[in-house]
Structure 1
């Protein structure tokens, strides 16, 4: 990067408060989805992107800076140390992803969320100090696989296999209270919410009675949930 001052520019001169915010690096599908969602939720967000075409595409929607985030000098001038949370959304270049993450580690960023496109990529990011490594493609693939292969209507894996799903009730639970059906004892999963047609979701109690038309919110380990969902 020959000239730091000429190598980056801001869109509408985005400002941050002294409280910090979230810095997103990369305006690909992952980074742009995070940035636009944070902005819609009212969170302070700033995006770094080196591609002028992407900057132009998003400049009217979210605060953006055109810069090369692999350069520690560029990050310093942008004020990366003011951000307690930084998301590295670079996936197309492993080298750039690692360089940027390494820069953030060296600068003492409190929370680094980094996108990985493979297990090897993820291991490298973890070894150099990323606090959270995200596998968006793999996670989306696993989620869709669970949805298309069984009764699950929604599937969210939280961490270490712990998962929350939305599903139809198996026949053996229909017409019984949660206490009577003994789901937790038999299958090791917990029914945490029930939605009856035309009603809001309610937290489940042992006395909650399940009908065939209900939807269940169930938590537990993914393997146990798969077993429970496979019941007729």
Structure 2
């Protein structure tokens, strides 16, 4: 078995549900070396010819070894609806000493199990999408990306009226609200990185970063 340092930078994606197929198709489109593994014949037929794909049962460690799983530096476990299959596949990858294992979880309890058996990264697509939607439904934010749980966040939002006609330096956003304007987008213009001399208008969309709670309060002013 190759040592972790000898693995390639290719990615093995196991499970072609909505999450797994999006990961595999995006990596393939970006020109990254990727191989998808799916045991459901109907999904195999759906994706054959569109992405590199093999039909195999990844809960079987021998099947993983036969398809060359030991050569991959990263594996993504997109199987989550079956807790048993998710745990077995993740455990198999841990046994194969896969350097980076990303696993999808459907609950916090599921995620804790995956972490305990050795998954390096656990993602919660449904939870994250729901949380993001909750921040957007008010209409004050146009996009929301939480970089760290309960910590640094980046949002895209309409410019508050009190900033219109003032430069970022004049509005003292950082000292008054505790957030940082990284850039802005004006209609028909390319993205502009913000400086203290950047003038904000009513039609501008701002890209702002900071603590999530401070960003919420700042967005309420728009």
Q: Is the counterpart of residue 28 in structure 1 residue 17 in structure 2?
A: yes
Take 1:173 and 1:191, find their aligned partners in 2: how far apart are those partners?
A: 12
Residue 164 of structure 1: how far off its partner (Å): 1.0
Question: 2:156 is paired with a residue of what secondary structure?
Answer: strand
TM-score (norm 2): 0.94
| C-alpha contact 1:150 1:230 (8 A) present in aligned 2 | no
Selected match of 2:77 from 85, 88, 95? 88
Q: Give the TM-score, by structure 1 length.
A: 0.90
Q: CA RMSD of the aligned region, Å?
A: 1.2
Contact 1:23–1:80 (CA<8 Å) still a contact in 2?
Answer: yes
Q: Does structure 2 retain, via aligned residues, the 8 Å contact 1:150–1:229?
A: no
Please identify, of 157-166 and 218-227, the stretch whose mean Cα deviation from structure 2 is larger: 157-166
Query: Deviation per CA, 1:134-153, whole angstroms, max 9, x where unpaired?
Result: 00001111111111124101
Aligned partner of residue 213 in structure 1, secondary structure: coil
* Residue of structure 2 equivalent to 1:11: none
Residues 135-214 of structure 1 aligned to structure 2 (within 5 Å): 135-160=124-149, 161-214=151-204
Alignment of 1:68-83 (within 5 A): 68-83=57-72
How far the C-alpha of 1:99 sits from its partner, in A, is 0.9
User: What are structure 1's unaligned runs of at least 5 residues?
Assistant: 1-17
**Unpaired runs of 5+ in structure 2?**
1-6
Distance 1:19 1:212 in 2: 49
Runs of 4+ aligned residues of structure 1 deviating over 2 Å after TM superposition are none
Post-superposition CA distance 1:141-187 (Å, at most 9, x none): 11111111241011111223321111111112111111111111122
Alignment of 1:53-132 (within 5 A): 53-132=42-121
3-state SS in 2 of match to 1:21: strand
Q: Distance in 1 between matches of 2:99 and 2:65?
A: 15
SS in 1 for 2:102: strand
Give 1:20 shift: 4.3
For residues 33-48 of structure 1, the aligned pairs below 5 Å read: 33-48=22-37
Question: Do the aligned residues in 2 keep the contact of 1:24 with 1:48 (CA within 8 Å)?
Answer: yes
Q: Deviations over 1:79-107 (max 9, x none)?
A: 11111010000011011101111111111
Give the number of aligned pairs: 215
